[in-house]
Structure 1
């Protein structure tokens, strides 16, 4: 109690700004999205103001963390390669494009609520251009980080955690933002291209995430829960379940509305019903929600058992709880809000 606390300089603080800090942007972004879709008082002025306030807080946080991150690698350039070689810290690079997507999502809500027509204006196409940039960054991180995990970093099966899903999660998050953009883009060609790219992103991301989840389940059965420092990552699988299901719902909604044309195949000549594809996306989203319903109590039990024996240290990792649980809640809300015209 008598020991004096040594205050760190600003330069020392900047040195410790890791990519994990972008989870703050992710968590705040999903909270603002949930507020905007809150069932009670929907479209009320209070909900709009709270959503916009959270958006600006998130935007300021994103800018400050970006500036601090840039300063870190300018002041300490040797930390860049050290971070890329770190088997855990490097995985959080994916938090950057996911945080950016959360800002685009709420910017779309703000555009709709405050004076902009949802299908016109340069602002909408600016958001679309930023989404394409985010897609490029997400794809580069997915390929680059998986390659680094395979060829550069050292891993062991006994150390496998849910964080191994992180490289492909930006693709799933970007697909959800693409589905939201497709619902308001004015040109049919823009909508079709956005839906096509979003479909590829969500399928690639979900396939890889589910493969990691299968390996994770085997690892947990054989070696037990992860160490206390990484026990909070047990909730990370709710991210691909929730965000993947939400992405499929938004894509299916666009198809059910007839905003995307699905003509006959040039090879087989068979026509593909948009409502049939929408029914498939709805069913796939329901399956992901059901998987999350199984995983959630398992993760909570692992965290509870670990916390009973050893105190979970307070760290930036607590923010990793917010986004996965938030997007799973978003998927749950999505089933209540979306009205898909499914065939009988």
Structure 2
């Protein structure tokens, strides 16, 4: 049995994938605040605020550990960027921050948390998050082109992580646009909505290209191995979050001054059709992901790791889209289906959270492939000299 790592070693092996903890907790908070049954109840209010503050704690702690890692071990930065898998998780920090903004906005709008200035503080942080998301999406595509060596057989759904940052930021922008319009800031709401629409269209176009290639990879090479099979759920991320963003942003068009040649109703109808198409695609990919995981885990085991947290956010945003479609269509079937998905995501979050506690205590969860590879190279050079 391996011995526990000291704090310095844990920080050295602290990866960007830890930001999926913030993403998963943030989407659970959003699902609780939008749960169809018991809206406005004291129980939902307490759970929403509890998960918001818990996520805020996770965000501060994980960001502090990330900064400490590269301050203490600056050589890991270039090693991380050259790693074809670990570097893809850099965008998780932007997505985690966006889910935290969503939770804060829900607490502010639904439960009058903090004062009016809190809304504009969230709006300012959203601009910062949007710039970071755009830089991450474009920058990581450039890094993948110039620093990595990829092949179709080695491809995984992790390729989607950099571009999903734009879609996640766009949905947060749509929610903020609604809040700004309600506060009487129409021009700010219009600007936010326009930027959000642009981001979601860019993100979806890139994501759909990658999903097409990923489907070809699955058909030609079969399911991923046990170490990456849980990432199969990531496909639900751009589909669920993209559809949710289209619905939320389109609802703000009613308060937007448009030229007579543009019909608000027609644009909203197109956005709804896109959201419904993405939700339908999500159902298919959910079946593919579950069947692939069952097929692989029947033959191989997947030891617990930080990668388990990556399952929560994609399933959560797909549940969020289901909930929003139920609201738009006033459909009891979708309302019940959204509630079932939400409960399942909450149970998944609880399971992974409880599994994480002992793994953090015995430090077995702190394992960075790029740091381990760099350590091996250093030992080899020392032995050779």
TM-score (norm 2): 0.83
181, 186, 189: which one aligns with 1:191: 189
In the TM superposition, residue 312 of structure 1 has moved relative to its aligned partner by 1.1
1: CA distance, partners of 2:103 / 2:177: 15
Tell me whether 330-339 or 137-146 shows the greater mean CA deviation.
330-339
Displaced runs of 4+ in structure 1, greater than 6 A? none
Contact 1:233–1:320 (CA under 8 A) maintained in structure 2: yes
2: CA distance, partners of 1:116 / 1:90: 36
Map of 1:219-298 to 2, 5 A cutoff? 219-255=217-253, 258-264=254-260, 271-298=261-288
Which ranges in structure 2 are unaligned for 5 or more consecutive residues? 331-385
2: CA distance, partners of 1:207 / 1:280: 16
Map of 1:30-179 to 2, 5 A cutoff? 30-115=27-112, 121-179=116-174
In the TM superposition, residue 207 of structure 1 has moved relative to its aligned partner by 0.5
Aligned to 1:310: 300
2: CA distance, partners of 1:50 / 1:122: 24
2: CA distance, partners of 1:191 / 1:262: 13
Q: Give the aligned length.
A: 327
209, 217, 225: which one aligns with 1:211: 209
In the TM superposition, residue 318 of structure 1 has moved relative to its aligned partner by 0.5
Contact 2:45–2:111 (CA under 8 A) maintained in structure 1: no
2: CA distance, partners of 1:330 / 1:111: 19
Cα deviations by residue, 1:108-166 (Å, 9 ceiling, x for unpaired): 1111233369xx82211111110000000000001100000001111111111111011
Which ranges in structure 1 are unaligned for 5 or more consecutive residues? 265-270
Cα deviations by residue, 1:22-69 (Å, 9 ceiling, x for unpaired): 000000000010011111111111101101000101000010001111
1:310 match: secondary structure: coil
2: CA distance, partners of 1:172 / 1:47: 27
2: CA distance, partners of 1:320 / 1:285: 23
RMSD of Structure 2 on Structure 1 (CA): 1.3
2: CA distance, partners of 1:167 / 1:323: 15
In the TM superposition, residue 72 of structure 1 has moved relative to its aligned partner by 0.6
1:237 match: secondary structure: helix
Aligned to 2:328: 338
> Larger % of helix: which?
2
1: CA distance, partners of 2:99 / 2:281: 24
In the TM superposition, residue 7 of structure 1 has moved relative to its aligned partner by 1.8
Contact 1:261–1:274 (CA under 8 A) maintained in structure 2: no
1:261 match: secondary structure: coil
In the TM superposition, residue 215 of structure 1 has moved relative to its aligned partner by 0.4
In the TM superposition, residue 262 of structure 1 has moved relative to its aligned partner by 1.2
Cα deviations by residue, 1:182-201 (Å, 9 ceiling, x for unpaired): 10103211111111100010
Which structure is richer in relative contact order (CA contacts within 8 A, separation 6 or more)?
Answer: 2
Contact 2:155–2:217 (CA under 8 A) maintained in structure 1: yes
In the TM superposition, residue 339 of structure 1 has moved relative to its aligned partner by 5.9
Contact 1:253–1:338 (CA under 8 A) maintained in structure 2: no
Contact 1:173–1:243 (CA under 8 A) maintained in structure 2: yes
Contact 2:237–2:318 (CA under 8 A) maintained in structure 1: yes
In the TM superposition, residue 338 of structure 1 has moved relative to its aligned partner by 3.0
Contact 2:177–2:188 (CA under 8 A) maintained in structure 1: yes
